[in-house]
Amino acid sequence: MEQIAITGMGAVTPLGVGVRRYWNSLITGKSGISKITAFDASDLAVGIAGEIKDLNPAEHMPRELIRQTDAFMQYAYIAAKEAIEDSCIVINSRRTGIVMGTALGGITTTARTQESLSEAEHKKVGPRFIPKILGNVAAANIAIAYGIRGPSLTISTACASGSDAVNTACMLIRSGKADAMLAVGAESVLCPLVIYSLSNAKALSHSADPETASRPFDKNRGGFVIGEGGGALMLESMTNAKKRGAYIYGLISGGANTSDAYHVTAADPDGAGASECMRLALNDAGLSPRDIGYINAHGTGTINGDIAETRAIKSVFHDPPPISSTKGATGHMMGAGGITEIIACVKAIETGIIPPTLNLDEPDAECDLDYVPKSARHADITHAMSNAFGFGGQNSCVVVSKYEMR
């Protein structure tokens, strides 16, 4: 089976723009969560988020395109640009494709447009509204900019979308339909509509302290913190990567997708679907549980979700490796998290550093694994796993492996 090489990476995160800033902030224990500044959130039940602040889109993309796109599309474009440039690939237009992952697409534009329409005396909606909210148009803008004419798909599997974009891209390469695939995940859902809904569902943390609000696996966790951003990976067949002498960061050695078939929003409390997904991903990679040296957990900080994931990990790994949830630093980036967390796995293997789980002061008695609390840790890692789970019982796992030059 053809190996899948990772030859380029890009990230737009609440911790900073660019993979280097993202990674350095992760391992030094910085938090990207703060009070919302994109709009007045003073009258909302939740006024904090992992918001993108240090970004001037005009430095990365044409001004005309900025006016025509939702924020999630801009994050996708900028992350993709970094990954493409990082890979130094000369795109073969018909043998290069793109898979986009996003949970809610342009929901902020939808909410803002409806609010303006309701209040306006003259009912008018701009002609760019539809292409500004469609998930696949994020991929289309990237394809247009770089002449990518190969397979193009958009995945929407809730918070597993980014991870599933990577798995789908790998399947397309292995099937022979492409030599290279750009996998992109992006999300921007910071608007009152989404906050009200998730808050009323008791999914969000109501902590008033931004830096300590996201508390995966901690006894005093109270829900997740919304994050936003984008991530991208340039993936190539090993044949293609070697042929052009590309630098190879690592390998996507396996992946899987399953459904809980249990509940629309709640995870199976025993973690049965998640554990099956991890087993299938290991099998796809040709590895055993003891080969995995690090797991980047989904770990959102919800009461039941963290327990379910802990149970799932225990059922697969009889002696679990170190685990951390980087959502303590970034918040829950939804469609973007699946890819930026895979990037964290790549960097952990490359640098021998495991990023910490922030704010893990007192572990929940039912979350009793090694979650690398508060501070980064050095470790020799050859294989790592990234978990991404979403509403609808979506489970997605990706296994990343060190590239050994031969």
- Domain ranges in the chain are 4-243, 254-401
Q: Choose among 283, 342, 304: nearest CA to 9.
A: 342
CB atoms within 10 A of CB 20: 13
Instruction: Show Cβ contacts of residue 176 under 8 Å, excluding neighbours closer than 6 positions.
Output: none
Token output for 69: 């796109």
Residue 83 CA: distances (Å) to CA of 18, 76, 171, 210, 251: 9, 11, 20, 30, 15
> What is the predicted pLDDT for the residue at 11?
98
Select from 3.40.50.620, 3.40.1170.60, 3.40.47.10, 3.30.470.10 the CATH code of 4-243.
3.40.47.10
Give the confidence band of 20 by pLDDT, cuts at 50, 70, 90: very high
In the 3-class helix/strand/coil scheme, how is 97-126 assigned residue by residue?
EEEEECCCCCHHHHHHHHHHHHHCCCCCCC
Say yes or no to pLDDT of 57 above 80. yes
Using one digit for the tens of pLDDT, what is the confidence trace for 96-105?
A: 999 999 999 9
DSSP string, 141-163: HHHHHHT--S-EEEE--GGGHHH
CA dist 108 and 94 (Å) reads: 33
Using one digit for the tens of pLDDT, what is the confidence trace for 39-49?
A: 999 999 899 99
CATH no., domain 254-401 = 3.40.47.10
Q: Within 13 Å, how many C-alpha atoms sit on residue 358's CB side?
A: 23
Using one digit for the tens of pLDDT, what is the confidence trace for 263-276?
A: 999 999 999 999 99
Does this model's pTM top 0.95? My answer is yes
- What is the set of active-site residues? 159, 298, 332
CA dist 4 and 173 (Å) reads: 8
Per CATH, 4-243 and 254-401 having the same topology is answered yes
DSSP string, 200-253: HTT-B---S-HHHH--TTBTT---B-BB-EEEEEEEEEHHHHHHTT----EEEE
Using one digit for the tens of pLDDT, what is the confidence trace for 197-220?
A: 999 999 999 998 999 999 999 999
Token output for 140: 């289309």
Give the confidence band of 406 by pLDDT, cuts at 50, 70, 90: low
Token output for 136: 């696949």
Strand-pairing partners, residue 152, are: 98
CA dist 145 and 160 (Å) reads: 26
Rounded average pLDDT over 348-363:
98
Say yes or no to pLDDT of 122 above 80. no
CA dist 231 and 338 (Å) reads: 8
The SS3 call for residue 345 is: helix
Using one digit for the tens of pLDDT, what is the confidence trace for 69-83?
A: 999 999 999 999 999
Task: End-to-end CA distance of the chain: give it in Å, rounded.
Answer: 17
